Chains A and B, each alone.
Chain A
Amino acid sequence: MSLQATTSQTVGPFFLIGLERLFVDNLAGPEASGERVEIEGRVLDADGQGVPDAMLELWQANAQGKYAHPEDTQAKNVEPGFRGYGRVPTARDGTFRFTTIKPGRVPGPEGKLQAPHIVVSVFMRGLLRRLITRIYFPDDPANSEDFALNLVELGRWGTLVARKSTKRDDLLEWNVVLQGSDETVFFDC
């Protein structure tokens, strides 16, 4: 039996009503191990204007590189209280922020480890389908050998790798640019 996946439709402007209940902007409870980071940024449209009605969903492994999911059969422990799920809306000026821990490395194709990353879905009015991208971490030596980054031309890596903020050591900056010369790399996934 073969069916076809249901057509995606936009979340529209009023998704808060249905999706606000599972907003999570702190992915790591107090007991979660790992290096704590805060990530902030903006979602920007073709005119460089902040998008006030977007939503990001985040999914990541724990600090040991283990996903809280039965498909992850690595001999590593899940941590109580760490799911690895986040969902954050943008504010009127298109800004978003969330707190988490830097994930560990997880397996990629052919058993090679991927660099630490967070997978991201982007939803908003105007998007009939979600956009998919990744957040990588600055100055991580594993980035240069990461299989997904190596699918991308080097000149665009900056759209996937967060930057250290000048404001605080544990603050990273990462934007979602929908169009233009700095357009974020989105994946067909």
Chain B
Amino acid sequence: MPDLPGYRRPYPGTQPNYLHPPYVSSIKRAPSRPLVYLPHTLSEVTGPLFDSSVLDRKACDLTRQHHGEPLGERIIVSGRVLDENGRPVPGTLIELWQANAAGRYLHKVDQHDAPLDPNFTGCGHTLTDSNGHYRFVTIRPGEYPWKNHYNAWRPAHIHFSLFGPAFATRLVTQMYFPGDPLLPFDPIFNCTADEKARNRLISVFDWETTMPEHALGYWFDIVLSGRHATPWEK
């Protein structure tokens, strides 16, 4: 087999360092030694692919997974998955999870004194369509306290997990909401040197996808590593 082109490495400042002391949990979990630079091989330019056989069709509407409707503000979260070359990434799996409207996760570790919602699990998944487009219906997650520092509160956010076409394109990220007053105080959101990069984690209110008499639309594009055009990047 001929050598295959690898994927691009991140632009400086656009990805977090492992050690980010304001995020206290990173201190004992970040590696202390420098990473070893590894050119991409067949092992990294391949990766698990998932088709519609893994899909539950109801999973893209988090408001219809139980008998009743969940409490809170119904929203539509949609966008495109692109690569760094601007090409859509079709047919890729997106997994998503979030707190309920009161800021509580359906998880035994979450001890926040806010009510669980019997009509809201807070997880969903879908495949992007042939244009890289995805769409979820959910409810706006609540902010919630955490113990990182005194009076610490996480801004409202939704967790996204994506595979893309290769091991090298795997991404887990979080989507935030425009105008959230907690964003300047959140060490997880503020983890990059590049301010523009972190601001791209904030979704945009979108009239086009807002449904009259039904739900506000928020647009969130996600960009995965793009492929080099020529064999071997280094």
* Nearest B residue (CB) for A185: B36
**With A6-B171, A9-B174, A18-B97 known to touch, is A69 a contact of B16 (CB < 8 Å)?**
no
- Is residue B106 within 8 Å, beta carbon to beta carbon, of the partner chain? yes
Measured CA separation A71–B45 after assembly (Å): 7
Chain A residues with CB under 8 Å of B222's CB are 6
Report the minimal beta-carbon distance from B190 to chain A, rounded to whole angstroms: 11
B39 partner residues in chain A, CB cutoff 8 A = 109
Question: Do residues B3 and A109 form an inter-chain contact, with CB atoms below 8 A?
Answer: yes
B90 to chain A, nearest CB (A): 13
Whether B20 lies near A178 (C-beta < 8 A) is no
A179 to B26, CA, bound (A): 11
On chain A, the residues within 8 Å of B11 by CB distance are: 4-5
Asked whether, in the complex, the Cβ of A45 is within 8 Å of the Cβ of B1, the reply is: no
SS class, residues of chain A in contact with chain B: loop
> Which one, B14, B18, B44, B224, contacts A127 given CB within 8 A?
B18
On chain B, the residues within 8 Å of A178 by CB distance are: 28-31
Contact between A130 and B32, CB atoms less than 8 A apart: no
Cβ of A16 < 8 Å from any Cβ of B?
Answer: yes
Asked if A164 lies at the interface with its beta carbon under 8 angstroms from chain B, I say no
Among B29, B48, B86, B97, the residue within 8 A (CB) of A51 is B29
**If A179-B32, A189-B168 touch, does A126 touch B23 (CB 8 Å cutoff)?**
yes
Our pick among B1, B35, B85, B200 for the contact of A187 (Cβ within 8 Å) is: B35
Contact of B188 among A53, A68, A128 (CB under 8 A): A128
> Do A148 and B38 form a contact, CB below 8 Å, given A21-B125, A126-B30?
yes
Interface residue? B211 (CB, 8 A): no
Tell me whether A22 and B54 are in contact (CB under 8 A). yes
B76 an interface residue at 8 Å Cβ cutoff?
Answer: no
How many A-B Cβ pairs are below 8 Å? 239
By the criterion CB–CB under 8 Å, are A108 and B41 in contact? yes
| A4 touching B223 in the complex, CB below 8 Å, given contacts A17-B122, A67-B46, A126-B29 | yes
* Residue from A4, A107, A117 having most chain B Cβ neighbours under 10 A: A4
Known: A13-B107, A183-B31. A109 touches B41 (CB 8 A): yes
Residues of A near B32 (CB, < 8 A) are 46, 179-180, 183
Task: Name B20-60 residues within 8 Å CB distance of A.
Answer: 20, 23, 25-33, 35-50, 54
Residues in chain A near residue B49, CB distance under 8 A? 68-69
Interface residues as binary, B105-131 with A (CB distance below 8 Å gives 1, 0 otherwise): 111011000000000011111000000
B interface, size bucket:
35 or more
A2 to B25, CA, bound (A): 34
- A126–B28 CB distance below 8 A: yes
Is the CB–CB distance between B172 and A9 below 8 Å? yes
Contacts A4-B84, A16-B107, A17-B122 given; does A128 touch B20 at CB 8 Å = yes
User: Does B75 have its Cβ within 8 Å of any Cβ on chain A?
Assistant: no
Q: How far is the CB of A11 from chain B (nearest CB, A)?
A: 5
Contacts of B200 in A (CB 8 A): 4, 6-7
Q: Is the CB of B172 within 8 A of A5?
A: no
Nearest to A134 among chain B residues (CB) is: B43
* 18 A-B pairs (CB sep. < 8 Å): A5-B224, A7-B191, A14-B105, A15-B161, A17-B107, A18-B123, A19-B97, A22-B95, A67-B42, A72-B42, A83-B48, A108-B42, A128-B18, A128-B20, A128-B191, A178-B28, A186-B35, A187-B36
A residues with a Cβ closer than 8 A to B are 1-19, 21-22, 45-47, 51, 53, 57, 59, 61, 67-69, 71-74, 83-85, 106-111, 114, 117, 119, 121, 123-132, 147-148, 151-152, 178-180, 183-189
Q: Which B residues form the contact surface with A (CB < 8 A)?
A: 1, 3-4, 8-11, 14-18, 20, 23, 25-33, 35-50, 54, 82-86, 95-97, 99, 105-107, 109-110, 121-125, 159, 161, 166-168, 170-174, 188-189, 191-192, 197-198, 200-201, 222-226, 232
